[in-house]
Amino acid sequence: MSRPDYSAADFRRRAEAQTHTIGAGAWRDHGDSLLNPATIPHLEGMALRDAAVLVPVVDGGGDDARVIFTRRTTSLRKHSGQVAFPGGAVDTGDRDVEAAALRETEEEIGLGRHFIEPVGRLPQYRALSGFVITPVLAVVQPGFRLTPNPAEVDAVFEVPLSFLMDPRNHETGSGVWLGDERHYYRMPYEGWNIWGITAGIVRVIYERLYA
């Protein structure tokens, strides 16, 4: 059996193909929604603010691309200290979620948009913290230099796409949030704790592109 292809070129092909099949209710069928089905009616009734994150897959020219993550500073009001994809709320001046994701990425880690090629979207992720997040899938060309914004990001690191797309690395955990037990994915990697919303998004990438 041949080794799965985790190159940036193959990621681009898979991302573009699955984007055309996203239905309005697709968010219910993947990732954290499957772990916590009881939250779906509550999320459907919430007024959520639009947000976007960038999933930056670096094209290093080899057969195993790498994915950029950040760790948010502990001073931020929401999701402080957590591993995240660059992103944030969609502003009124943003043309679309891709524009919001590119703007936030440049503001947070200094990754110039001329290095970034958006290649697709995932189903929206509805978060109990008050956001409906659109993950924008992107291929990043090499040659960039990152400059993290210390007010928002205290670390930037990369993880091989092959590690993230291996379901054997998808652990689950649980905790009590707002009085109820919630389940989540976690994917520990070399001392980094990828969990919560970010791991949930990674899980959806696996389910839609590689499962």
* Domain 8-210 falls under CATH 3.20.20.10: no
Q: Which residues contact 174 (CB under 8 A, 6 or more apart)?
A: 181, 182, 183, 184
**What is residue 107's predicted lDDT score, i.e. its pLDDT?**
96
Mean pLDDT by 10 residues, the chain (211 residues): 79 95 91 91 89 96 94 68 91 95 96 96 91 96 93 94 97 82 94 95 97 93
Structure pTM?
0.93
CB 58 within 8 A of CB 65: yes
Structure tokens at 156: 């930037």
CA pseudo-torsion sign 160, 165, 168, 171? positive
**What is residue 99's predicted lDDT score, i.e. its pLDDT?**
96
Q: Which of 120, 148, 114, 88 shows the shortest CA–CA distance to 8?
A: 120
